[in-house]
Amino acid sequence: MKIEHPTDGPTRLPYAHDYFSTASESPQQQLLAWRNRIGHILDVPVAKSQRESGFRGTIDSYRSADLAFMDCRTDAILQTRTAARISTDSARQFVFHVLVDGQIETTTGMYPKRVSTQIKPGILALDMGQPMRMQRTDCRLLAIFLPREWLAPVLPEPESIHGHVIEYDSPLARLIPGYLAALSQTGQSTNPADFHDALKTCAMLIAAAFGKRTGRAGGTRAAARAAVFGTLRRYIEANLHEPDLSPESVLLASQLSRPTLYRLFESEGGLATYIRNRRLSQAADELRRYPNKAVVEIAYGLGFNSASDFNRAFRRAFDMSPLDFRMFTV
DSSP character string of 249-279: HHHHHHT--HHHHHHHTGGGT-HHHHHHHHH
Question: What is the CATH superfamily name and number for domain 2-214?
Answer: Jelly Rolls (2.60.120.10)
Q: Rg of the chain's alpha carbons, rounded to an integer? A: 21
Sequence-distant (6+) residues with CB within 8 A of 20 are 37, 57, 58, 59, 61
pLDDT at 57: 98
How many whole angstroms separate alpha carbon 280 and alpha carbon 56? 38
> Which of 142, 144, 137, 99 has the alpha carbon at shortest distance from 118?
99
Q: Are 32 and 39 in contact (CB under 8 A)?
A: no
Around Cβ 267, how many Cβ atoms within 10 Å? 17
> Which of 54, 43, 68 has the alpha carbon at shortest distance from 138?
54
Q: How far is CA 43 from CA 82, 84, 280, in A?
A: 8, 11, 22
pLDDT at 190: 66
Q: Which CATH code fits 219-329?
A: 1.10.10.60
Q: How far is CA 157 from CA 92, 151, 222, 240, 263, in A?
A: 14, 9, 12, 19, 15
pLDDT at 14: 73
Which long-range contacts (C-beta less than 8 Å, at least 24 apart) are formed by 222-226? 222/156, 223/156, 225/264, 226/156, 226/157
Q: Are 247 and 260 in contact (CB under 8 A)?
A: no
Residue 15 has phi, psi (to 5 degrees) of -140, 130
Q: How far is CA 119 from CA 97, 101, 135, 164, in A?
A: 13, 8, 12, 14
In the chain, domain spans: 2-214, 219-329
pLDDT at 179: 86
Encode burial over 126-148: b for 16+ CB neighbours within 10 A, e otherwise: bbbebbbbbbbeebebbbbbbee
Give the relative orientation of helices 247-254 and 271-289 as an angle to the nearest 10 degrees.
Answer: 110
pLDDT at 51: 87
DSSP summary character for residue 113: -
Blockwise average pLDDT, block size 10, the chain, 330 residues: 42 79 96 96 89 94 92 96 90 94 94 88 94 96 94 83 91 88 71 84 91 68 78 95 96 95 90 96 94 96 95 94 91
Burial label for 87, CB within 10 Å (0-12, 13-18, 19+), is middle
Label the pairing between strands 94-101 and 139-146.
antiparallel
Q: Are 65 and 6 in contact (CB under 8 A)?
A: no
pLDDT at 192: 80
